[in-house]
Amino acid sequence: MPEGDVVFRTAARLHAALAGHPIVASDLRHPRLALVDLSGRTVTECVPRGKHIMLRLSDGLTLHSHLKMDGSWWIYRPGQRWRTPGHQVRVVLTTDDVVAVGARLHDLEVVRTEDESSLVGHLGPDLLGPDWDADEAVRRLAATPERPIGLALLDQRNLAGIGNLYRAEVLFLRGVHPATPTGEVADLPALVKTAQRLLYANRSRVEQSTTGSLIRGQERYVYGRRGRPCLRCGTRITAEPLGSGAEGTDAERTVFYCTNCQPA
């Protein structure tokens, strides 16, 4: 489940492999984009924006993709066998040296670079971006004091890049129950600072760790550890749904927490 740090690394790999190179062949396997041909254009840069990836081209076009829950980008040498089944591939970009393959991509769009804001302009400050503004993130979170903090953190309009994993770990580290109204969180700026520090620490490594350990089973405090003992106090970790159950910013998702370290 890609979160802001995974998207950051993915964009960096794409940039390193494609920037400055002309596309000699392109294949966009999406009904709406099937007739779009990006060949002949040079990739100028690839940048992340929250959980979005913007691949910019020399003639002022941007190929936008969103990884959502299961998307990925792979870099291959020409002729190298793909790891991804062909029916899951949505984008193939070929240069003289590499083949970039996007699998299970969502919200795939080609827009003018100057119009990128129509796709990502609603996002809050990017935890790993040059626009990161902790005060603005706190302001946006605090604007709905009655909203559970566990829902507010996942709303990309407040701050961009947090997914279910980092939500759980940030709230554990700050001792906050996921259902706590945002207005009742004792130190919202400290919580936001913790979120940014966690993503920043993981931005360049494949093995995500919020505990500082890469030992299997000890990389995370609560996320994915339902029924296992809390690494801090030994209480069994609880996992339960939080949200409305409907689609949208407050869609139901499972939250993980320690009832002792994060009392209601």
Mark whether 146 is an active-site residue: no
Mark whether 68 is an active-site residue: no
Residues 58/21, Cβ–Cβ less than 8 Å: no
Q: Which two tokens stand for residue 232?
A: 């801090």
Query: How does DSSP classify residue 81?
Result: P
Cross-strand pairs, 76:
99
**How far, in Å, CA of 116 to CA of 46, rounded?**
13
Mark whether 236 is an active-site residue: no
Q: Among 9, 41, 49, 51, which one carries the catalytic annotation?
A: 51
Query: How does DSSP classify residue 229?
Result: B
Start-to-end C-alpha separation, the chain: 27
Q: Among 68, 104, 139, 253, which one carries the catalytic annotation?
A: 253
Mark whether 29 is an active-site residue: no
Q: Among 3, 109, 116, 169, which one carries the catalytic annotation?
A: 3
Helices marked H in 121-252: 134-142, 149-152, 164-174, 188-202
Please name the helix (run of DSSP H) or strand (run of DSSP E) that holds residue 46, with its range, or none.
Answer: strand 43-49
**How far, in Å, CA of 3 to CA of 167, rounded?**
10
Backbone angles phi, psi at 72, to 5 degrees: -160, 155
Q: Which two tokens stand for residue 81?
A: 């066998």
**How far, in Å, CA of 100 to CA of 89, rounded?**
11
CA atoms within 13 A on the CB side of 86: 2
Catalytically active residues are 2-3, 51, 253
